Amino acid sequence: MTDTTLGRAAGSATLLPGIDWRVVTVALLALVGGGLWIGDAVSGRQAALYLVGGVLGLVLYHALFGFTSAFRVFIADRRGAGLRAQMVMLAVACALFFPVLAAGTLFGTPVKGLVSPVGLSVVAGAFLFGIGMQLGGGCASGTLFTVGGGSTRMVVTLAFFIVGSVLGAYHLPWWQAQWTAAPVSVVAAWGWPVALAVNLAIFAAVYAGTLALEKRRHGRLIEGAPARTEGLRRFLRGPWPLVWGAVALAVLNFATLALAGRPWGITSAFALWGSKGLAALGVDVASWPFWQAPAQARALQESVLADVTSVMDFGIILGALLAAGLAGKFAPVWKLPLRSLVAAVIGGLLLGYGSRLAYGCNIGAYFSGIASGSLHGWVWIVAALAGNYLGTGLRPFFGLEVERTPRPTAC
């Protein structure tokens, strides 16, 4: 290594101290190399979606944008910063999505929302998912980006999330045979201007309600993690203001719509990965009704690199790894308390099973569902909040903390 190279490295370390350059290098190589591989094996559009996933992972990590923790601290202590950030995210997303979905095309590409039926399976699945969020320690997006950030406990949650997703796919036909109403799109039913106005009014009411409840309980607001740095250092190392994360997630979901023709989702990939694993072991998963639909059958036969959700999930993990390296926080802890480990197993199973029954998770059903104008997104969040309430009460039995104020954590 030359004196000039040493000088540059020393200068970088002085300008941006605390960055784990080994982790950053690995993450960047994986993102760039993976993008080139996917671009060659599938398409440039698929590679772009992989990189959008990478940016999503970085945003989620740096903004500490945890749905699970946001629900928990509001239930336990009426701290509402996380919920208010979600309302901003949904408002921006709906403003972007509704006119485009009504038109049916974006930049010449046909687009459609994630609009699903409302029925017993959605209510039961979202409720179970809500319990799983609190026991597993994360939602779908939270599980992925905390795995990328180095959480070994969340690796357990993710493994059983996949198992639960496969079980949910296997049982879904029974749930679909129970009471179910047809899918409802408020964009199609009311027109996008009226639908947007109604949704914005609901978001504003929830935002104002959390302000009032938090001030009544505490007398003041806490709006997120305190800044350790400013300027470029804060942008690179975090934590970001929650509103940065809210706006960025909405814009990146819109980018996903533009590239994939449909909004961001996460958990369908878990059922695919697990089912492919069973198929490799000789199980005839292709005969399951879930995998009989043309799109699902094709996904089961093709490489996971051809699956939009899978490549975006891979990107999220690597983007979070990059963010953890930039923050200097990649430090896996391998010793896990037994009760916490049991909670991760149970929580992962409930997350996976519930997400299949409910046609999605906090991203595919709640975020992208509401952004798509789907009534099932609103049913999902009501049932999921009920599950989160129960799950929060169960956490102490597994030795898990129930915070009384929001902490800078994603799960």
pLDDT of residue 1: 43
When pLDDT is cut at 50, 70 and 90, the band that residue 64 belongs to is confident
Q: Mean pLDDT in the chain?
A: 90
How far is Cα 200 from Cα 96, in angstroms, rounded to an integer? 12
**Higher pLDDT pick, 236 / 166:** 166
User: pLDDT per residue over 225-273, tens digit each?
Assistant: 565 666 677 777 778 999 999 999 999 999 999 999 999 999 999 999 9
Q: Tally DSSP H helices, then E strands, for the chain.
A: 18, 4
When pLDDT is cut at 50, 70 and 90, the band that residue 335 belongs to is confident
Residue 15 has pLDDT above 90, yes or no: no
Q: Give domain limits for the chain.
A: 19-398
User: pLDDT per residue over 102-116, tens digit each?
Assistant: 999 998 889 999 999
pLDDT of residue 231: 67
- Cα–Cα distance list, 251 to 88, 185, 258, 297, 310 (Å): 12, 21, 11, 31, 20
Ramachandran region of residue 402, left (φ > 0), alpha (ψ -120 to 50) or beta?
beta
Contact 63, 57 (CB under 8 A): no
pLDDT of residue 229: 65
| Number of alpha carbons in the 13 Å side-chain half-sphere of residue 113 | 33
Contact 278, 103 (CB under 8 A): no
Closest CA to 46 of 298, 368, 309, 317: 309
pLDDT of residue 226: 61
When pLDDT is cut at 50, 70 and 90, the band that residue 408 belongs to is very low
Strand, helix or coil for residue 407: coil
Strand, helix or coil for residue 31: helix
pLDDT-above-70 percentage for the chain: 92
pLDDT of residue 409: 47
User: pLDDT per residue over 20-47, tens digit each?
Assistant: 999 999 999 999 999 999 999 999 999 9
How far is Cα 259 from Cα 48, in angstroms, rounded to an integer? 8
Strand, helix or coil for residue 138: coil
Closest CA to 360 of 383, 378, 377: 377
- Regarding pTM above 0.85, the answer is yes
Burial, 385: exposed, middle or buried (Cβ in 10 Å; 0-12, 13-18, 19+)?
Answer: middle
**Higher pLDDT pick, 207 / 144:** 207
pLDDT-above-90 percentage for the chain: 78
When pLDDT is cut at 50, 70 and 90, the band that residue 3 belongs to is very low
pLDDT of residue 353: 98
pLDDT of residue 330: 80
Which residues are paired to 106 by β-bridges?
109
User: Rounded mean pLDDT of 339-343?
Assistant: 95
How far is Cα 156 from Cα 344, in angstroms, rounded to an integer? 6
User: pLDDT per residue over 278-328, tens digit each?
Assistant: 999 999 999 999 999 899 999 999 999 999 999 999 999 999 999 999 988
pLDDT of residue 66: 85
Task: Please report the DSSP string for 300-359 in residue order.
Answer: HHS-GGG-HHHHHHHHHHHHHHHHHHHHT---------HHHHHHHHHHHHHHHHHHHHTT
User: Rounded mean pLDDT of 189-199?
Assistant: 98
* Helix pair angle (67-77, 192-218), 10° resolution: 50
User: Rounded mean pLDDT of 177-186?
Assistant: 95
